[in-house]
Structure 1
Amino acid sequence: MDHRIDRRSLLRLAGVGALGLAVPSFLTACGGGPSGGGVSNAGKDLAPWPTYVPFTGPTPDAPGDDSGVQPLYLKYPERLVRSVGDTPGDGSDVTVMVLSYGAPPKPVGDNQYWQAVNRALGVNLKVIVVPDPEYGQKMATLMASSGDLPDLVMFSNLALPHAAEFVQARCADLSEFVGGDAVKEYPNLANLPTYAWKGMGRIGGKLHGVPLERPMPANSLFVNRTALDAAGIPLDWTTEQHLDAMKQLTGDRKWGVGWFKTLFGGLGGITYHAGSLGAPNTWSADGGAFAPTLATPQFEQALEVMRELVESGAHYPDSLTTSSTDMQSHFHNGTVATMNDGFGSVSLATMKKIDGRFALDLGRPYGPQATPWQGPGVFGHVTFKKAEPARVKLLLRIVDYLSAPFGTEEHELANYGVEGKHFTKDADGIRTTDLYGQENNSLLPTKYVGAAPAVLYLPGYPDAAKAVHEWQKATLPRSVRNPATGLRSATEAGKGAQLGQIVGEGIAAVAFGRKPLSAWKDVVTQWRQAGGDRVAGELAEEHAANR
């Protein structure tokens, strides 16, 4: 998730949406009957996952590992390499439809970043930027239309009804181009880790897109380490120490913990507490049978911790009416000492908003048998308009260029623009200019057309980068993945909003004391009867097919 969080993004990053029980992922967002029909993977010949060929880039200051720990860079590489030999394009127009969380980009004639990207790609990018509040409706209109499609369409993790059927019917099957060793023709796509392809998943056994990779951590507890250190609160803590710490940090119109309301009425933060106390990540899949984390004692214990935080007054008092953006501001200015947010908020933008007020860190899970939850490994993915093979390959070369990894010339252009115009370099590395604030890959969201595997690099803030890396090393080796990631369920697609409402309202009612903790069992029963048990059965069928 990127640093600008909104109500739709919360469904993935916090509260019930992150459970995957309330809102289906893209590949579960389709109907088609009980087993999903043609878009189901059960009983289909499965395209092989793309062969993983990692990029041998600049040596990091501290390495990453297979648990999801990112390579740490404290300085920008002195020498960059080229990852793309020839200009990808042929001078043609390429229409792209992408999501945006920012203001509209400057027109291409006035936009030096856009012009530079066009020259590098060898095409004329015609970018349709869809503001986030309009994304769901715009995508629904696109899918309902029988007209011509853009060449490239970005799908976020927001669930869209019948999206899989649309993609299968109207978008290119990329299996022959990127499945197995075929992906080696596009080395930057081969550098995308397998978990990202699996997070995107297959449709009807085929590969219908390229994933937009994101780091492994899911919803995380962002902490004001300066405030915690001043109060003598340790890095590693028990459940009781966590509760006491949040109380200790509360007073004089400051609070220990900041929550915010999710779309379905739940509270952001349940994932951190559930993972701290050993709850399975959304589902357990023992023996191939799916069981919801909602029904586990550990999840109920997490609700009890949240309830205790409410009763003690340690939480921000307007949690059920405060937006995520406002709560982020409260964290940045020190009003709240901790808040749950998507890991993507570990960013240069966040550091600039904190503006030196305190040292940023992430809070470690507090339970003795913690199972920190991993994210899906993707922010979304890009689909391709059906076309002749030569055209599909051209589009793949464009996405390959924009997916170039850290340490390459292509990555520098795509992420920072033109040296001397959008950024300069000094001993600390990249220094963005005022022009970068007006022309970048957020305002012209090329980063949602292709994305490299993320590294830990916060120019000018090495201590924060080191702290996050230490947190990853302490947390990720024991983290657990959601076994439903990349799978689909027709029932969840059709009843996801209803199921989410049940869970979200139940979390809020129990946490804020409107109902006793014992009432949670009734919430789980209601969820099961409303379709939760059917979701479990369908996921088990898909899981068996995707092995």
Structure 2
Amino acid sequence: MDNSINRRGLLRMAGMSALGVAAAPLITACGGGSGGATGSVSNAGKQLVPWPAYVPFAGPKPDAPGDETGVQPLYLKYPETLTQSVNDTVGDGSKVTALVVTFGPPPAPVAQNRFWQEINKALNVDLQVTVVPDPEYGQKMTTLMASGSDLPDIIMFTNLALPHSLEFIQAQCADLSEFVGGDAVKEYPNLANIPTYAWKGMGRINGKLYGVPLERPTPANSLFVNRTAMDEAGIPKDWTTEQYLEAMRELTGDRKWGLGWYKTLFGGLGSITYHAGSLGAPNTWTATGGQFVHTISTPQFEQAVDTMRKLVEAKTVYPDSLTVSSTDMQSHFHNGTVASIQDGFGSVAPATLSKIDGRFELDLGRPYGPQATPWRSAGLFGYVTFKKAAPERIKLLLRICNYLSAPFGTKEYELANYGVEGVHFTKDDRGIKPTDLFDTENNSSLPVKYLGAAPSVLYLPGYPDTAQAVYDWQKASLPKSVANPGQGLRSATQVSKGAQLDQIIGDGIAAIAFGRKPLSAWKDVVTQWRQTGGDRMAEELAKEHAAAQ
């Protein structure tokens, strides 16, 4: 998730927004209706609108370039000169309503909120944003979709699987195909700058495009490590499986542990992502010869389960890992109680570094197996859709998204992410420096970052050494990384039984890792998963995948 920001750290605002663990396709629902929604949402047998053309922004030269494997451009300093990416008037002075999720406190009213006022001025609209706290988001969206009336102009969908969301979108939201499909997106240069993987991660509905993705970096669940402790113990950055296991033993003792897990990791594949990718297991699915095969049925995945069992057996894992919260485990990592923790890549952020507070150097653990296949994420946090309206109104809403998606190195990005210079931030030789006002006026309390998001870059203001270390990790790891071929595809079973199927996997991993069942019991977990709906889901995804080729 994304958390609120304080002036000690520009959390997830410099292109480091959270991804969390590798997730199921973001908008996955079939069958049934909601809010008057009817009709097939499958892409099989449909004419497919082309993905939006990709026209990358020629921005400030990075200190080190990104590449097609997902390595982010590295910026050790904030650009001295900013460009302007939007030269035309965005809005028409009208009221624009939006609904977004929030992970922080609500914003101050617009009359007392300079950040909100400046956003409205830049967009030339009266932007009225309804922010829904994350714990309430699912219920709020369910109610909204069930009513199908009095919809806001812009509706933001997260990666939370919402039953019948696709039918609702198809029935109640604007088809954007003619506006952003293929070369049409070039009318909105900042949307054309969104990488194709983010559009594919969002996926089509009935062959058409109904949303604009909120891009995020491609690394998935990663191993965060205390590099200082590892260096002191003589642990190399590149390691074999045995060296990794030995390193965790070396870092354990005197009420400290090599590794910390937490309870919410055991609701699916989250807990095993790093190990499965290290040992060469496919990212969730393989698509071969017209068939989809799930990673849990591969020997590499079973080896990853065994590796987790060995870690627990050697007492290198924090003992309460099945009950402790993610927040508490992160605190254990920040204070040095555990030397490594699995977390979403978006936690590489100034806020994390400020919590570490100089106790150690932060780094990411490289995969340890000889045939590693690090898992990529979906490449987006969610997407926005628009209420059906006349073409001119849809174009206005797209111009709003285009402005808020302006890339790093532009004046628009600076306003949308940091606010007004001299009011919300100042600049020094370390880059952006937030003011006290930024604690309460920012794009987490007023989440305009969920109405449009720039492609992420690797910029950690005040922490250039960590940024360089993370870049080096990306260069070493991402060329071997693999995507989930099921991302963006449609499966009715995934929506109706996805949570149940994920829990079978998570419970099975936990039972074996923590010694309640032997490794030989894994085959029973796979059988249960397949019979409960896994085989049916594989058939549905294979059909969708064939249609997309």
Alignment of 1:78-97 (within 5 A): 78-97=80-99
Distance across 2 between alignment mates of 1:508 and 1:12: 23
2:416 to 411, 414, 417: 414
The C-alpha deviation readout for 1:322-350, integer Å capped at 9, x for no partner, is 11111111111111110011111111111
Residue in 1 aligned with 2:20?
13
> Equivalent residue of 1:290, what SS?
strand
Q: Do the aligned residues in 2 keep the contact of 1:3 with 1:349 (CA within 8 Å)?
A: no
Residue in 2 aligned with 1:27?
27
1:228 to 227, 230, 252: 230
Distance across 2 between alignment mates of 1:12 and 1:366: 22
Distance across 1 between alignment mates of 2:267 and 2:538: 23
Distance across 2 between alignment mates of 1:230 and 1:100: 40
Letter of the structure 2 residue corresponding to residue 359 of structure 1: E
Residue in 2 aligned with 1:247?
249
Larger mean Cα displacement after TM superposition, 462-471 or 493-502: 493-502
Distance across 1 between alignment mates of 2:337 and 2:118: 42
Letter of the structure 2 residue corresponding to residue 13 of structure 1: G
Larger mean Cα displacement after TM superposition, 514-523 or 329-338: 329-338
How far the C-alpha of 1:352 sits from its partner, in A, is 1.3
How far the C-alpha of 1:433 sits from its partner, in A, is 1.1
Q: Do the aligned residues in 1 keep the contact of 2:25 with 2:202 (CA within 8 Å)?
A: no
Residue in 1 aligned with 2:504?
502
How far the C-alpha of 1:87 sits from its partner, in A, is 2.5
> Equivalent residue of 2:323, what SS?
coil
The C-alpha deviation readout for 1:137-195, integer Å capped at 9, x for no partner, is 00000000132110001100110000000000000000000001110010000000000
Residue in 2 aligned with 1:334?
336
Distance across 1 between alignment mates of 2:449 and 2:398: 15
1:449 to 433, 446, 451: 451
Q: Do the aligned residues in 1 keep the contact of 2:43 with 2:207 (CA within 8 Å)?
A: yes
Residue in 2 aligned with 1:2?
2
> Equivalent residue of 2:27, what SS?
helix
Q: CA RMSD in A?
A: 1.6
Q: Do the aligned residues in 2 keep the contact of 1:260 with 1:324 (CA within 8 Å)?
A: yes
Residue in 1 aligned with 2:481?
479
Residue in 1 aligned with 2:150?
148
1:164 to 163, 166, 186: 166
2:350 to 337, 341, 348: 348
Summarize the Cα distance change of 1:268–1:492 in structure 2 as closer, same or farther, 3 Å threshold: closer
Distance across 2 between alignment mates of 1:254 and 1:169: 54
> Equivalent residue of 1:81, what SS?
coil
> Equivalent residue of 1:468, what SS?
helix
Q: Do the aligned residues in 2 keep the contact of 1:259 with 1:268 (CA within 8 Å)?
A: no
Q: Do the aligned residues in 2 keep the contact of 1:30 with 1:160 (CA within 8 Å)?
A: no
Distance across 2 between alignment mates of 1:266 and 1:402: 33
Letter of the structure 2 residue corresponding to residue 502 of structure 1: I
The C-alpha deviation readout for 1:48-68, integer Å capped at 9, x for no partner, is 100000000000000000000
Distance across 2 between alignment mates of 1:139 and 1:60: 40
Residue in 2 aligned with 1:195?
197
Q: Do the aligned residues in 2 keep the contact of 1:27 with 1:203 (CA within 8 Å)?
A: no
Summarize the Cα distance change of 1:149–1:37 in structure 2 as closer, same or farther, 3 Å threshold: closer
The C-alpha deviation readout for 1:469-527, integer Å capped at 9, x for no partner, is 00000000010000001001011111112212211111110111100000000000010
Distance across 1 between alignment mates of 2:267 and 2:471: 33
> Equivalent residue of 1:464, what SS?
helix
1:105 to 100, 104, 107: 107
How far the C-alpha of 1:266 sits from its partner, in A, is 5.4
Letter of the structure 1 residue corresponding to residue 28 of structure 2: T
Distance across 2 between alignment mates of 1:447 and 1:253: 41
Summarize the Cα distance change of 1:434–1:30 in structure 2 as closer, same or farther, 3 Å threshold: farther
The C-alpha deviation readout for 1:448-476, integer Å capped at 9, x for no partner, is 11000000000110000000000000000
Is the counterpart of residue 388 in structure 1 residue 395 in structure 2? no
Distance across 1 between alignment mates of 2:354 and 2:283: 32
Residue in 1 aligned with 2:316?
314
> Equivalent residue of 2:381, what SS?
strand
> Equivalent residue of 2:160, what SS?
coil
> Equivalent residue of 1:305, what SS?
helix
How far the C-alpha of 1:403 sits from its partner, in A, is 0.2
Q: Do the aligned residues in 2 keep the contact of 1:424 with 1:433 (CA within 8 Å)?
A: yes
Is the counterpart of residue 283 in structure 1 residue 285 in structure 2? yes
Distance across 1 between alignment mates of 2:385 and 2:190: 17
Letter of the structure 1 residue corresponding to residue 226 of structure 2: N
Letter of the structure 1 residue corresponding to residue 291 of structure 2: A
Q: Do the aligned residues in 1 keep the contact of 2:29 with 2:167 (CA within 8 Å)?
A: no
Q: Do the aligned residues in 2 keep the contact of 1:31 with 1:161 (CA within 8 Å)?
A: no
> Equivalent residue of 2:322, what SS?
coil
The C-alpha deviation readout for 1:230-288, integer Å capped at 9, x for no partner, is 11100000111111111111112111101011276458430000000000000011122
Aligned length: 533
Residue in 2 aligned with 1:466?
468
Distance across 1 between alignment mates of 2:265 and 2:499: 10
2:400 to 398, 401, 409: 398
How far the C-alpha of 1:13 sits from its partner, in A, is 3.0
Letter of the structure 1 residue corresponding to residue 20 of structure 2: L
Percent identity, aligned pairs only, is: 74
- Structure 1, unaligned runs of 5 or more: 6-10
1:73 to 55, 72, 75: 75
Letter of the structure 2 residue corresponding to residue 360 of structure 1: L
Distance across 1 between alignment mates of 2:488 and 2:420: 37
Q: Do the aligned residues in 2 keep the contact of 1:50 with 1:190 (CA within 8 Å)?
A: yes
Residue in 2 aligned with 1:131?
133
How far the C-alpha of 1:228 sits from its partner, in A, is 0.6
The C-alpha deviation readout for 1:302-337, integer Å capped at 9, x for no partner, is 011111111111111111111111111111111111
> Equivalent residue of 1:226, what SS?
helix
- Structure 2, unaligned runs of 5 or more: 5-10, 12-17
